[in-house]
Structure 1
Amino acid sequence: MDGIKKDNQRTTHHIEHGGFEEMNSTTDPKTEISTQQDLFDVEDTDINFRSLSWQGAAILIAKLQIGLGALSLPSTFHTLGFFPGILCFVVLSCMTTIAGYVSGNARQYFPQIHSIGDAAEMILGTAAKEVMGVIYYLYLTLVAGAGLLTTSVALNALSDNGACTTVFVAVACAAAFIFGTSFRSLERVSWLSWVGVAGIIIAIWVTAIACLAQDHPAAAPLNSHVPLDLEIRVFPRTNFSQAMGAVSSQLFAVGASGTFFSVSAEMKRPELFTRALICGQSFIVATCIIIASIVYGKVGQYLSSPALGSAGPLIKKIAYGIALPGLVVTAILWSHVAAKYWFVRILRGTPHLQTNTIKHWVTWIGSMAVTAALAFIIVGIIPFFDDFLSLVGALVNPVFTAIFPGIMILFFIAERPTRIQECARNDGSHEYRTTQWLPLALAKWKDGSKETIALLLGILMILAGVFIVVGGTYATVLNIKNSYNEGKVSGFFSCADNS
């Protein structure tokens, strides 16, 4: 690989850092495995992409998870019922945590991996790389677009629709492009993420405390002669399409595990990824449950979407003012990760990847420009919030949070570390044949309880992902159609107030 030093190979990762070897009861825990050549060089380069600390990775994981879906979570409790809604969110959070664990730690065995497309190529072949790569980039761009949309909601709320919504989206798009292009490594973006996470957390806590302090929900009718009914649903009273739409929104709220390949790829010590995952994921899951429970329990059916508007106009402006930097960081971060996918893919294996050449800068700026423009177009075409999040959560999230991680679990219980060591090539070009490893995985139930549990877990994740894709997409499309029929959605590139 041109421009990458052959002596920069990762050769000593123990079982306590990875975890996949635990599936192999015959492997010595102290056995060291050799892996393939690292994608990024750490010496004699103009830019070091391997500079992200585990603390920085933890805050990136937290920022990738919070910011959009968390704002729509209280409304899912109303649709699914309070207790089923919490249970569903916990189950989905566990599933995405497993997916994040598998995705982030895969780099210890295959350090040439930068994205889920690289992993798909290795496990399923070249065609899978192309399909998965397109879906992955589309997903990243959709979420970046959602970040632009939410930023426009905040600007509308702060200015009382002081300008056309499309103008606000364009302003957010320009900010995402400028700041996203300025930082080429995730280590630099992680500093922005600290500000982003703090802003959104403070904003939703301000909303929750304000809801608790109010005697009367801001959106409830002021009629003293009629008892106020919050219609807090302990159990669901809904139909299939509404329920699946809520499930898709919840998955979107904790469905960023497909990006964890890229986070791990830029860590100084990728063997500490599990620590970063536990810190970032547990903080976000706990925060989402507590905040959503407080807001829904106090406001009930009189929720706003996004939830920052649930405590009335004044608190809404205060909350959006505090959250605005975090919402902009969301658009910056997701645009950055999306652009980095094409940047690395185009320059992989060349000296331009980590050198300040004209080709390096043209590729990076071009990748960011195309991503920002595409996100802007998506926002103009899809000008709604809840159903937009549900559509992304249903159509593409399950691929990265359930289906492909399930496939990876089957792969790792079939291809033990010793086999990986035997098959790996130093140039990182090895592909495993599905016809070889899949039968081995399916036969592992004979090898003991650990292998059986891992096998069942992988199969269940694949089936769950397929169910959410089919059911969630169908339900969300119906909801979007109904919204248009009822006149609840404005036209393309609308100037209407979306706050």
Structure 2
Amino acid sequence: MLWAKKKEAEAASEKPPGEEPAPTRSASTEDADPDVDVLEVPANIFSEGGKNYRTMGRWDTALVLITNQVGMGILSLPSTMQVLGLVPGIIAIVGLGLLSTYTAYELLQFYRRYPHVVNVVDMARVVGGKTLEVIVGICVVLKLLLTCASATVTLSVAFNTMSEHAMCTVGWIGVSAVLCWLVCLPREFKFVAHMGIPCTISIFAAVLIVIISLGIADPKGAPVGGFDKEIEVVGSPSFQDGLNACLQICYAYAGNVGFVSYMAEMKNPSKDFVPALIAMQVFSIPLYLLVAVAIYCLAGQYTSSPALGSAPEIPAKVAYGIVLPALLGTGLVFGHTAVKYLYVVGMRALKSTHQVTDRSAKSWGVWVGSATCFWVVAFIIANAIPIFNSILSISSATFIAWFTFGISAVFWFFLNWGRLLSTKAKIALTVLNTLIIIQAFFMNAAGLWTAITGLLDIFNGDGSEITGAFTCADNSLF
């Protein structure tokens, strides 16, 4: 019976856009969006075979989402305050956070209509068939590669800072990639939930050390004997600097691409995902504001990026040591999302989706092979762009603008096509989602230009020892 339901759902996803499957109402739809039909939830590939992976409840999911969101992106936020100024910076952090919450809810609306999907690429297949599935699949992998490469770059900054550049930066990036590969080997997202609490504690403790140290001592680089802080209430950045700062804030909300994958391993996503999403944003947005405002106001013009480097040298080294679990957590949560997608693609190609949850040699071979290939490529990308701010900005401009904002708006149009102007509320949402798509196009085009221009400036000797890819030069701040 379960297999039959799954086949019906897969057949429905093959239908061209606009031709929807006949909805089968579930017994309970009290949590459903009134404008979106809810299908009876069929078994997906994670509830078949040797083990049921659909084990995450509300709070497991909240921990996964917090681990997903609160990571290395927070370390760039104080420097964005320095560029934008306090008021525009606060508005950008809160505004983009609320917008990412809305676009995450749009993913849930789509999942409620098509509950057989197990990732955002499956959603793309429902909307645009095989062609869009392939395009979005390639983009998802590239996006996750850039994010995981960012994690390894940040880890290399931490290792260089703590060890005073005891090894070539290529070597530290390699160590970081191997560590991230190891933590990605467990196959269930519930493992990520178990890592959530120590990862969150580590990032909170690290930034707290920086804030306390800046409260009793001057920041790194400040003149001996004190200095006059330069705090910009409203900044006046250049177009390039301002857009790069906004891209780095977007990076802090880069987790939406994995949300569908988490829904697929939840026991009751329609009921439990929204509370988990709200818990994540209630935690992360105030934390982002606290860290960004406190460190910028204490360090002033000596605010650095990553933000831990704003502290005096010894507290900064301690903070980098404490933050290592959170940085590994970023590599874990995004790397696991990528490996899970590659694994599903591989098992589908082998016509073995009924063995996805088995503990067979085939399933483990595909999983370990997917993880190994992914992290080898991430290692190469990290060495190609070994600079923290640059890889964050390029990652945000290339894919995050779409996968956090734009693609959710496209899915909303697909769900609501034919009734876009039916009510005043629908008209308002149609305008909002149109603006979201325009924003994604703008950040994709203009943002990529500014990010690459900034990277080339650094490679051309703009105050940095790093002059190219695969460098042994020290990428730490000391």
2:295 corresponds to? 295
1:339 corresponds to? 339
Please point out which of 448, 456, 459 is paired with 1:481.
456
Q: Is 2:34 the counterpart of 1:12?
A: no
Q: Over aligned residues, Cα RMSD in angstroms? A: 2.0
**8 Å Cα contact 1:406-1:458 kept in structure 2:** yes
Q: Is 2:423 the counterpart of 1:448?
A: yes
Give the TM-score, by structure 2 length: 0.90
Output one character per residue of 1:147-191: Cα deviation in whole Å (capped at 9) or x when no partner.
11111111112211122222222112112212211x101011211
How many residues matched? 454
Q: Distance in 1 between matches of 2:292 and 2:454?
A: 23
2:378 corresponds to? 375
Please point out which of 42, 47, 56 is paired with 1:42.
47
**8 Å Cα contact 2:222-2:302 kept in structure 1:** yes
2:313 corresponds to? 313
Q: Distance in 1 between matches of 2:256 and 2:157?
A: 26
1:221 corresponds to? 223
Q: Distance in 1 between matches of 2:377 and 2:38?
A: 42
**8 Å Cα contact 1:413-1:454 kept in structure 2:** no
1:433 corresponds to? none
**8 Å Cα contact 2:46-2:264 kept in structure 1:** no
1:33-432 matches, within 5 Å, as 33-35=38-40, 37-40=42-45, 42=47, 45-181=49-185, 183-214=186-217, 216-222=218-224, 228-271=227-270, 272-348=272-348, 350-414=353-417
**8 Å Cα contact 2:62-2:277 kept in structure 1:** yes
Distance of aligned partners of 1:41 and 1:483 in 2 relative to their CA distance in 1, 3 Å threshold: closer
SS of the aligned residue for 1:256 comes to helix
Structure 2, unmatched stretches of 5+, are 10-23
Q: Distance in 2 between matches of 1:498 and 1:378?
A: 15
Structure 2: which amino acid aligns with 1:6?
A
Q: Among all aligned residue pairs of Structure 1 and Structure 2, give the percentage whose two residues are the same amino acid.
A: 28
Q: Distance in 2 between matches of 1:223 and 1:201?
A: 30
Output one character per residue of 1:278-301: Cα deviation in whole Å (capped at 9) or x when no partner.
001221111011111000011111
1:460 corresponds to? 435
Q: Distance in 2 between matches of 1:259 and 1:42?
A: 19
**8 Å Cα contact 1:115-1:261 kept in structure 2:** yes
**8 Å Cα contact 2:110-2:412 kept in structure 1:** no
Output one character per residue of 1:16-61: Cα deviation in whole Å (capped at 9) or x when no partner.
4233x2x47xxxxxxx843463323536x32322111221111111
Structure 2: which amino acid aligns with 1:258?
V
Q: Distance in 2 between matches of 1:211 and 1:38?
A: 53
Give the TM-score, by structure 1 length: 0.86
The alpha carbon displacement at 1:495 in A equals 2.0
Q: Distance in 2 between matches of 1:40 and 1:11?
A: 21
Structure 1, unmatched stretches of 5+, are 25-31, 415-439
The alpha carbon displacement at 1:141 in A equals 1.2
Q: Distance in 2 between matches of 1:163 and 1:47?
A: 43
Decide which moves more: 160-169 or 251-260: 160-169
Structure 2: which amino acid aligns with 1:260?
F
Distance of aligned partners of 1:197 and 1:104 in 2 relative to their CA distance in 1, 3 Å threshold: farther
Q: Distance in 1 between matches of 2:40 and 2:361?
A: 32
Q: Distance in 1 between matches of 2:273 and 2:162?
A: 38
**8 Å Cα contact 1:13-1:108 kept in structure 2:** no
SS of the aligned residue for 1:494 comes to coil
Distance of aligned partners of 1:318 and 1:236 in 2 relative to their CA distance in 1, 3 Å threshold: same
SS of the aligned residue for 2:183 comes to helix
The alpha carbon displacement at 1:394 in A equals 1.1
Q: Distance in 1 between matches of 2:309 and 2:286?
A: 22
**8 Å Cα contact 1:115-1:262 kept in structure 2:** yes
